[in-house]
Copies of this chain bind each other. A is one copy, B any other.
Amino acid sequence: MSFERVAIIGLGLLGGSIGLAVQDRLPGVATTGWDRDPATRARAAERGLVGTVCETGAEAVAQADLVIFCVPVGAIGEVAGELASAIPAGAVISDVGSSKQSVAEALAKALPGHTVIPAHPVAGTERSGPDAGFASLFLGRWCIVTPPEGADAAKVAALSAFWEGLGAKVELMDAQHHDLVLAVTSHLPHLIAYTIVGTASDLEGVTQSEVIKYSAGGFRDFTRIAASDPTMWRDVFLTNKDAVLEMLQRFSEDLTALQRAIRWGDGDTLFDLFTRTRAIRRSIIAEGQDDARPDFGRSDHAG
């Protein structure tokens, strides 16, 4: 089986990128879309993010064989509940949320009797809204699919094939393990970035103008992530609380150890860690998950 009519609920960065990627790479597949915000619907229609932008969610899902919720994870249950009676019985339900156990529960509760197969494409930028999406967002990125126990293998395969059709690499994973892995590769980094940008904004001895002027020393990197969508990220932290708190605890312990090394002038401990951390970046570049150019290629652009 493969999907022929895909409904996208929520037309921001992720929803818009899926719509554009389907039209670009899977031309036989029809796309409908809806967003709660009328201004977003209007802009989505202008940009042609999906084949048909519908005036109601019920219209968008009425003929769909795949419904993908692309709204903040805290809102998925409510939005799905509103559309429950309109979604065809045979449609596969999926999403793009960054936490998967809570989404699986929310969708199962809102749409009893439907086949729910959550998914999470590990891709994005710091932008959000209907102007942010682009067709190549998923190229070479991983999409983690977290089928519940006993899920229909043919439908899981169809969803995996759909994501591969958009250029992604697919990995199947248990939802709980997903939440632990993403807590360290995504959620903790965002939390740290938001924190440090907040800390730098609230100093009495250093002005905000100085923080901005001298940000090329490293700080500016963190501001990119800390410019991400506030609603989305609030929801991620609230819905993946346990794993985030566990990773945060480990991070704080490690930071305290470094703090102690600095206080006591223990250069060897610092040097050893700073040497180890170089290897991981080399592996990330070798795996095609980041730009090999120094400074993310920013300097090429500036020069």
Contact check, A248 vs B259: say whether CB atoms are below 8 A apart. yes
Number of copies: 2
A260-286 interface with B by 8 A CB criterion: 262-263, 265, 267, 270-271, 273-278, 280-284
Known contacts A181-B214, A192-B255; A303/B134 CB under 8 A: yes
A interface residues, how many (CB within 8 angstroms): 114
Does A234 belong to the interface (CB within 8 Å)?
yes
Provide the residues of chain B in CB contact with A79, threshold 8 Å. none
Contact check, A196 vs B188: say whether CB atoms are below 8 A apart. yes
Known contacts A195-B251, A262-B244; A298/B299 CB under 8 A: no
Provide the residues of chain B in CB contact with A259, threshold 8 Å. 245, 248
Known contacts A171-B213, A199-B251, A291-B298; A223/B281 CB under 8 A: yes
Does A85 belong to the interface (CB within 8 Å)?
no
Contact check, A214 vs B185: say whether CB atoms are below 8 A apart. yes
Provide the residues of chain B in CB contact with A184, threshold 8 Å. 199-200, 203, 206, 211, 219
* A residues at B contact (CB < 8 Å): 74, 98, 122-127, 132, 134-137, 139-142, 144, 171, 180-182, 184-203, 205-206, 208, 210-228, 230-231, 233-235, 237-238, 241, 244-245, 247-248, 250-252, 254-255, 258-259, 262-263, 265, 267, 270-271, 273-278, 280-284, 287, 289-291, 293-299, 301-303
19 A-B contact pairs sorted by A residue (CB < 8 Å): A125-B294, A136-B299, A142-B216, A184-B199, A187-B217, A189-B196, A189-B221, A192-B192, A193-B218, A195-B273, A215-B289, A220-B281, A221-B225, A226-B274, A226-B277, A230-B270, A234-B267, A290-B298, A291-B298
